[in-house]
Chain A
Amino acid sequence: MMLIDCPFCGPRDETEFSCGGEAHIARPLAENKISEAEFADYLFMRDNPKGLFLERWRHSAGCRRWFNMARDTVSHEIVEIYPMGALPKTAAAKSAYSASWRRDTAAEHAAKPARTTVKNAGKARGAK
């Protein structure tokens, strides 16, 4: 049983929370054309690591707010709790974020307008 420190309500029993699965899955923008297989990375593929995992949690029986949590799936140690939309700050959670296979997917690149445009432009030039 975990004691989870809700950023709004303080420490509460795990039974009050529900886990929303992997965090930091950005939706590809419609303007960026990617293949169905690439889109599937966003829509279907979920990580299931043994060790530190970045997850979304919701205080469903309390304030009903979402937050992010870096949790060790083996020891259940909670390394960091941080707001939705933010990135982790602790060294361990930061490296879990950057080491994720998802960082290199076309789906994730397609979620950001600027970077994708540059990349596509590069590809287009290469094709010529």
Chain B
Amino acid sequence: MASTSQKSTSLPGRTALHGKAMTMHPNPNSGKPGLVFCELAHLGKLNMRADKSAGKMVKSITGCMFPPAANTFTSAGERHAVWLGPDEFMIICEAGKDEELASSIQASFGNRHAAVTNITDALAAFHLKGAAVRQVLAKGCALDLHHSSFTSGDAAQTLLSHAAVTIMALADDEFIVICRTSFASYLHDWLLDAALEYGVKFNK
């Protein structure tokens, strides 16, 4: 996912964590910081209301298997289809590709009772990686985040320290956390604080 954030820097417009400086608190027990995180600036996000009959079409446009099962997401490279509800999904795509993708999905809907809405700038995305990532998230989240319970490919909409978030497990030690843009600064500060005991680094 690192490539996503690098590509995004060339896009115009400020993002949620524009004003936050690179921060590093070393691991008090020496070694690597337990959490390294950054903003996935301009990460494309589309809200889609459709049923499983749109499966073939979504697969051909995004590459992602559709629909994903409840509480999971499917992936094709940097694109993801995230389950949000029985007829609601979030399509995540490379920064800068959101408008193009939204229009091709819109066009393919035809007369179908379905809708796609570009919510790229309404939400902010974090990329989190590190040995302590699950312990840090568990401090503010009631879900069972143990790696045997919340496995890679799992997604959930829940509360992270009172902020509404969508959490996606990419790997055992790697997550995407998506929140409302106005909560991004708060979550950035909360993550820095919650991860202090493991060592934490925020990358620009």
* A interface residues with partner B (beta carbon < 8 Å): 8-10, 12-13, 15-16, 61-65
With the chains together, A15 CA to B158 CA distance in Å?
9
B contact face: mostly helix, strand, loop, or mixed: strand
Chain B residues near A10 (CB-CB < 8 A): 70-71
With the chains together, A15 CA to B86 CA distance in Å?
21
Asked if residues A63 and B142 are in contact (CB atoms below 8 Å), the reply is no
Nearest CB of B to A114, in Å? 29
Q: 1/0 contact trace for B150-188 toward A, CB 8 Å?
A: 000000111100001000000000000000000000000
Q: Please tell me which one of the listed residues A12, A13, A16, A64 contacts residue B85 in the complex, with CB atoms under 8 A apart.
A: A64
Asked if residues A8 and B70 are in contact (CB atoms below 8 Å), the reply is yes
Asked if residues B142 and A62 are in contact (CB atoms below 8 Å), the reply is no
With the chains together, A16 CA to B142 CA distance in Å?
9
Nearest CB of A to B27, in Å? 31
Asked if residues B158 and A8 are in contact (CB atoms below 8 Å), the reply is no
Asked if residues B142 and A9 are in contact (CB atoms below 8 Å), the reply is no
With the chains together, A16 CA to B70 CA distance in Å?
17
With the chains together, A12 CA to B70 CA distance in Å?
14
Chain A residues near B157 (CB-CB < 8 A): 9, 61-63
Asked if residues A62 and B158 are in contact (CB atoms below 8 Å), the reply is yes
Nearest CB of A to B180, in Å? 12
Nearest CB of A to B31, in Å? 33
Asked if residues B85 and A8 are in contact (CB atoms below 8 Å), the reply is yes
With the chains together, A63 CA to B156 CA distance in Å?
9
Nearest CB of B to A46, in Å? 28
Asked if residues A12 and B86 are in contact (CB atoms below 8 Å), the reply is no
Q: 1/0 contact trace for B45-75 toward A, CB 8 Å?
A: 0000000000000000000000000110000
With the chains together, A16 CA to B164 CA distance in Å?
9
With the chains together, A20 CA to B62 CA distance in Å?
37
Nearest CB of A to B164, in Å? 5
Nearest CB of A to B120, in Å? 20
Asked if residues A16 and B71 are in contact (CB atoms below 8 Å), the reply is no
Asked if residues A12 and B158 are in contact (CB atoms below 8 Å), the reply is yes
With the chains together, A9 CA to B157 CA distance in Å?
9
Chain B residues near A63 (CB-CB < 8 A): 84-86, 88, 157
